[in-house]
Homo-oligomer: A and B are copies of this chain.
Amino acid sequence: MREHSGLLTDLYELTMAAGYFETRFDARATFELFVRHLPPRRNYLVAAGLEQALEFLENVDFSPEEIGFLRQHLLFSHIHDAFFDYLAKFRFTGDVWAMPEGTLVFPGEPVMRVTAPIIEAQILETYLLATLSYQTMIASKAARIVTAAQGRQVVDFSARRAHGGPASLLSARASAIGGCGGTSNTLAGQQFGIGIYGTQAHSWVMAHEDEGEAFGHFLDAFPEGAVLLVDTYDVRNAVKRIIAMGRKPAGIRLDSGDIGGDSRWARRELDRAGWKDVKVFASGDLDEYKIAELLRGGAAIDAFGVGTALGTPGDAPHMNLIYKLTQVERGGKIREAAKFSHAKVTYPGRKQVFRYRNPAGEYQSDRIALEDEPPNGGEPLLVQVMRGGRRVAPAESVGALRDRCTSSLARLPKRYRQIGRTAVYPVHYSKRLQALLEEVRKRVRRFAVK
């Protein structure tokens, strides 16, 4: 697959592009990406996916075969050659403002604002939505799981549950931004500089004649760093056997059964054997709720591996990021755009988000305003990341993005960080923005059929 193919979009983006071209609708448009509501049980989101979005914007184009494919489609039979010539030279030339990855985001707040010739901005909608939605969803879930683990390491095990290989790389990346200390995904480790973890699976134990032989062979190959999986047949037998062998592993891993009880029992046995530094890892369909419950119950666990819940969060499996037109500039005239369909109002205008802190430095509230409104002491969250289709700054490391997330969460008052309780962080629209919405509403009403 061509990674930066311009066809990686909904067909309607391309028909609209052709429509704008054919009807000489030469406009510069601003679109903003945001969520209307938080997914269930979420109090905040963690912005992620910007790097992949920018990479796409910098490289997107159409190959001759791709243009040929469109040209032969019945829908395009009345479209003139000039449009296809335009596609052959297509490049993104717009300006992009965005919240840096790792920033906390609340409903209504644009995580990205794109200003470009309307055709360009339209064609890129689908890719931007998919990329930012996905990583933001995973980073947000990761932050909750890491919160629940109370300082213990959380490792991303989601590779096998991801939506194919490329998606697995992005889920490892987004998990790290959300605070995970590492991943099982080897390629993600290589590509993004994330720590990689993992030693053995049930199959290693099952492939050997008996468990003792399996553990012995593994320690032969990995005298340091071996984490032995002890639940293939019977956890307590396996732990006793390892201790009886007298060969100290780096850790043991529990993947099923009564993980809390077994962890406490194993901890006691290991300590009794003088192996206080042997770690206890836990995995097996864990999520933030189960981790919190295990720790409340006094589980003796040093680190968690989380797969399914991280890569495909069951409590919020999608994040409905939307991409809405907020302004059109055409023939020197600026027109603000909004939408008023059933329960789906969107605010017009080019926006900025200001975040306010209390005297203790904690986040207190956000204000969504027009971009030229004064900050009044707030921190502007949207920064320019692309000018004329080129990045204005180099990519940040995943470690730097995780640090931003971690320090932002530390500034978020505790009630919003609780995983079990919903609390609504205060976000206001500025008065100018509210007045602008009403203006647009009146203008649109004038055009309604009487």
Q: Which residues of B have CB within 8 Å of A258?
A: 342
Q: Is the CB of A233 within 8 A of B444?
A: yes
Query: Is B308 in contact with A312, judged by CB distance below 8 angstroms?
Result: no
Q: Which residues of B contact A66 (CB under 8 A)?
A: 187, 190
With CB as the reference atom, state the residue of chain B lying closest to A138. Answer: B163
CB distance from A306 to the nearest CB of B (A): 13
Judging by beta carbons under 8 Å apart, are B206 and A339 in contact? yes
The smallest beta-carbon distance between A223 and chain B, in angstroms, is: 6
Residues of B with C-beta under 8 A to A232:
339-341
Cross-chain contact B224 with A187 (CB below 8 angstroms): no
A248 to chain B, nearest CB (A): 15
**What are the residues of chain B within 8 A of A442 when measuring CB–CB?**
none
Contacts of A233 in B (CB 8 A): 339-341, 444, 447-448
Measured between beta carbons, the chain B residues less than 8 angstroms from A118 are: 207
Asked if A356 CB lies within 8 Å of chain B CBs, one says: no
Q: A69-B190, A165-B127, A320-B308 are in contact. Are A184 and B133 (CB under 8 A)?
A: no
Is A46 located at the chain interface by the 8 A CB criterion?
A: no
> Looking across the interface, which residue of chain B has its beta carbon closest to that of A202?
B339
Neighbouring B residues of A168 by C-beta, 8 Å: 8, 126, 130
A164 contacts B52, C-beta separation under 8 Å: yes
> Are A256 and B342 closer than 8 Å at their CB atoms?
yes
Measured CB to CB, the closest approach of chain B to A77, in angstroms, equals 7
Specify which chain B residues have a CB less than 8 angstroms from the CB of A211 in the assembled complex.
447
User: Is A417 an interface residue, CB under 8 A from the partner?
Assistant: no
Task: Name A54-81 residues within 8 Å CB distance of B.
Answer: 56, 65-66, 69-70, 73-75, 77-79
The CA of A17 and the CA of B337, in the complex, are separated in Å by 58
Docked complex Cα distance between A13 and B200 (Å): 7
CA A65 – CA B189 in complex, angstroms?
A: 13
Task: Indicate if A270 sits at the interface (CB-CB under 8 A).
Answer: no
Nearest-Cβ distance from residue A281 to partner chain B, whole angstroms: 12
Interface string of A433-445 (1 = CB under 8 A from B): 0000000000010
CA distance A338 to B22 in the complex (A): 65
A19 and B221 contact, Cβ closer than 8 Å, known pairs A9-B186, A206-B338: yes
**What residues of chain B lie closer than 8 Å to A2, measured between beta carbons?**
187
Judged by a CB distance under 8 angstroms, whether A169 is at the interface is: yes
For A12, give its contact among B56, B131, B199, B256 (CB under 8 Å).
B199
Among the 9-residue stretches A25-33, A361-369, A386-394, A408-416, the one with 4 or more Cβ atoms under 8 Å from chain B is A25-33
Chain B residue numbers with a CB within 8 Å of A23 are 217, 220-221
Closest chain-B Cβ to A395's Cβ sits at a distance in Å of: 15
Among A19, A75, A78, A206, the most chain B Cβ lie within 10 Å of the Cβ of A206
Q: Would B31 and A184 count as touching, CB distance under 8 A?
A: no
A340 to B206, CA, bound (A): 10
Given the known interface contacts A133-B160, A199-B75, A223-B78, the answer about A342 and B257 at a Cβ–Cβ threshold of 8 Å is: yes
- A279 at the B interface (CB under 8 A): no
Residue A84 is within 8 A (CB to CB) of chain B in the complex: no
Q: List A190-213 residues whose CB lies under 8 Å from chain B.
A: 190-191, 196-204, 206-212
Which residues of chain B have C-beta atoms less than 8 A from A444's C-beta?
210, 233
Residues of chain B with a CB closer than 8 A to A166's CB: 1, 3, 164-167
Tell which of A105-113, A237-245, A371-379, A418-426 binds the partner. Answer: A237-245
A186 to B170, CA, bound (A): 22
Whether A187 contacts B314 by the Cβ 8 Å rule is: no
Question: CB of A234 within 8 A of chain B?
Answer: yes
A130 near B163: Cβ-Cβ < 8 Å: yes
- Alpha-carbon separation in the docked complex, A22 to B65 (Å): 49
Chain A interface residues (CB < 8 Å from chain B): 1-3, 5, 7-16, 18-20, 22-23, 25, 27, 29, 31, 52, 56, 65-66, 69-70, 73-75, 77-79, 118, 122, 125-127, 129-131, 133-134, 157, 159-171, 184-187, 189-191, 196-204, 206-212, 217-218, 220-225, 231-235, 237, 240-241, 244, 255-258, 308, 311-314, 317-318, 320, 324-325, 328, 335, 337-344, 444, 447-449
